[in-house]
Amino acid sequence: MVDQLITLPAFPAPSIERADQVRIVARENVQIVGITARERETESLVLAFRAVYGLDLPMKPARVEKDGLAVVWAGRHQWLLMSDVAAVPDLEQIMRADFGGYAAVVDHSDARAIVAVSGRRARDLLAKGVSIDLHPRVFTTGDAAATAISHVGMHIWQTDEKPTFELAVPRTYADSLWRWMERASAEYQNSDSLL
């Protein structure tokens, strides 16, 4: 007999709020699909994707979005596609049907977890664990990178000017990342001690 697998949340809590300075939110119910262009099919994939979705697949570290579908550059000829389950319940099947001839399509939804970090001190918090420059002159809305935070490999992108950043990490490291963020953001708890 096959037992039903009950999926537990990737993160131990839905959010962490630090005195209106930093907000950390677990993004649940997000589908994540990876597409990797087949050899010599990148141009065909890019053209087909543009024709179907009106979006250009980023050819450099960047994020684009339209109609609830976000696309993040994930490496040479590789992208992560994301949507809320409620908006597009079968993203992998749709991508496979539309682009399977041009790309390998893999569901990453159970392999990765996404956390959003926003607020006035979001950059300060992330700077404690990320080795890339997130200064607003360098990293702005639509920018993305593949890097690490507190020794955990991840993809990071900025979604707005609040600023809000989203981090996609391996699901097995989600709890560790969350605990690190709890500790690293603790100094922002009391607004009286803030700059």
User: Can you tell me the mean pLDDT for 50-54?
Assistant: 97
Q: At what angle do helices 91-99 and 42-53 cross, to 10 degrees?
A: 120
Q: Do residues 103 and 125 share a domain?
A: no
Residue type at 142 in one-letter notation: G
Q: Do residues 142 and 174 share a domain?
A: yes
> For the domain that residue 178 is a member of, what is the CATH number?
3.30.1360.120
Domain assignment present for 3? no
- For 15-38, give one letter per residue: b (16+ CB within 10 A) or e: ebebbebbbbbbbeebbbbbbbbb
| Domain end residue (candidates: 107, 141, 171) | 107
Beta-carbon-side half-sphere exposure of residue 150 (alpha carbons within 13 Å): 17
What pLDDT is attached to residue 20? 86
| Domain end residue (candidates: 107, 142, 174) | 107
**Tokens encoding 127:** 């700077």
Q: Do residues 136 and 98 share a domain?
A: no
Model confidence band, residue 3 (pLDDT cutoffs 50, 70, 90): low
Q: What is the pTM of this model?
A: 0.90
Q: What is the pLDDT of residues 85-95, one digit of tens each?
A: 988 889 999 99
